[in-house]
Amino acid sequence: MAKIGNIELGPFPLLLAPMEDVSDPPFRALCKEQGADVMYTEFISSEGLIRDAAKSVMKLDIYEKERPVGIQIFGANLDSMLQAVDIVEKTKPDIIDINYGCPVKKVVCKGAGAGILKDIPKMVSLTKAIVDRTALPVTVKTRLGWDHDSIHIVEVAERLQDVGAQAISIHGRTRAQMYKGEANWHPIAEVKNNPRMHIPVFGNGDVDCPEKAVLMRDEFGLDGAMIGRASIGNPWFFAQVKHYFETGQHLSPPNIKDRVEMARRHLQMSIEWKGEKLGVFETRRHYTNYFKGIPHFKEYRQQMVTSDDSVDVFAVFDEVESVFGEAELSF
């Protein structure tokens, strides 16, 4: 039974990964409906928060219906991170998560995200300072190491636990790998099997089908799975995994009507939250997966991702439902 602080998560919870421009309130709401157990926000810059940057502050929006929810912050400057924690606390999340895993150059070059994997003592001291600053449970998301020659995740996880981290999510790649190659879950299992570890250890990376979630649970013995890219344009993934856990059978894939309705709701909620322009633009990344596997669909997808007016996008949704309503699909 996984537990973060006093938050009971049940056996092998499924966590929605913090994904930039993806894990926003509309998408989190859809994933929650489909069975995601823990939500994490997009990662938020500590420097942006303390400077009251509009984009960073907007990411603090959380809603009662999505709890338990964690707000993820990143940064390398101690004072900025502590000030960011104070700001985050005021929004009353259930968890504060620290991003030590983002591999993107513009983050890493400032010593933040996965950049801190080059300085483990700083990673540990920063975590301790944040734990000491807040009464909320603090969790960490990180990677195996900076590169293949610096995979010390067993020691790192133990040290983070010792300074108060209450859960750790580990992506099974190094920073050098970015998102290339296959995720290696064996070092994550070594963390879990360390007899000194008592906090939950969640696996992340390449959980893209229910069978892999079962593998992570049964063969690698982890406490839960953090789901990222497999959920983009496919909030049903959480329900599919849970159905497979319960029955050993695959859940029937969503039909055209289901897909159109999900895309329609996603766009509408995005517009309500971000406004017309941003809502239309940032929902585009989901359409390829929402309508994956439909033959002769290129023309409709092109209209969806090039239309700047939501009225036009909604019209395409209606046409798709009319034209492809009887198509047999599979993810």
Last residue of a domain, one of 217, 247, 277: 247
Burial of 195 (0-12, 13-18, 19+ CB in 10 A): exposed
Say whether both 195 and 243 belong to one domain.
yes
Residue 71: its H or E element: strand 69-74
Look at the chain and report how many structural domains it folds into. Answer: 2
- The domain that holds 263 is classified in CATH as 1.10.1200
Say if residue 176's pLDDT is above 70.
yes
Structural domain of 317 = 256-324
Residue 138 lies in a domain: yes
This prediction's pTM: 0.92
pLDDT at res. 289: 86
Residue tagged active-site, from 31, 102, 109, 209:
102
Give the CA count within 13 Å in the CB-facing half-sphere of 141.
31
Say whether both 209 and 263 belong to one domain.
no
Residue 209 falls in the annotated catalytic set: no
Residue 241 lies in a domain: yes
- Residue 151: closest CA among 180, 182, 202, 185: 185
Residue 330 lies in a domain: no
Say whether both 30 and 156 belong to one domain.
yes
What's the rounded Cα separation, in Å, for the pair 205 and 175? Answer: 13
Say whether both 105 and 87 belong to one domain.
yes
Residue 331 lies in a domain: no
Work out the average pLDDT over 325-330: 61
What is the token pair recorded at 97? 């998560």
Say whether both 216 and 116 belong to one domain.
yes
Say whether both 266 and 177 belong to one domain.
no
Say if residue 295's pLDDT is above 90.
no
Say whether both 87 and 219 belong to one domain.
yes
pLDDT at res. 285: 86
Residue 287 lies in a domain: yes
- The domain that holds 208 is classified in CATH as 3.20.20.70
pLDDT at res. 133: 97
Percent of the chain with pLDDT over 70: 98
Say whether both 166 and 310 belong to one domain.
no
Last residue of a domain, one of 229, 247, 265: 247
Residue 120 lies in a domain: yes
pLDDT tens column, 144-163: 999 999 999 999 999 999 99
What's the rounded Cα separation, in Å, for the pair 163 and 131? Answer: 8
Residue 207 lies in a domain: yes
Residue 75: its H or E element: none
* Selected residue with higher pLDDT from 21 and 140: 140
Say whether both 92 and 162 belong to one domain.
yes
Say whether both 290 and 227 belong to one domain.
no
**14 DSSP β-pair partners:** 225
Say whether both 116 and 232 belong to one domain.
yes
- Mean pLDDT of the residues in the chain: 93
Say whether both 49 and 130 belong to one domain.
yes
| pLDDT band, very low/low/confident/very high, at 330 (cuts 50, 70, 90) | low
Residue 139 lies in a domain: yes
Work out the average pLDDT over 108-135: 94
| pLDDT band, very low/low/confident/very high, at 329 (cuts 50, 70, 90) | low
What is the token pair recorded at 293? 């596997």
Say if residue 318's pLDDT is above 60.
yes
Say if residue 326's pLDDT is above 70.
no
pLDDT at res. 327: 59
pLDDT tens column, 37-78: 999 999 999 999 999 888 899 899 998 899 999 999 999 999
Say if residue 87's pLDDT is above 60.
yes
Amino acid at 212: K
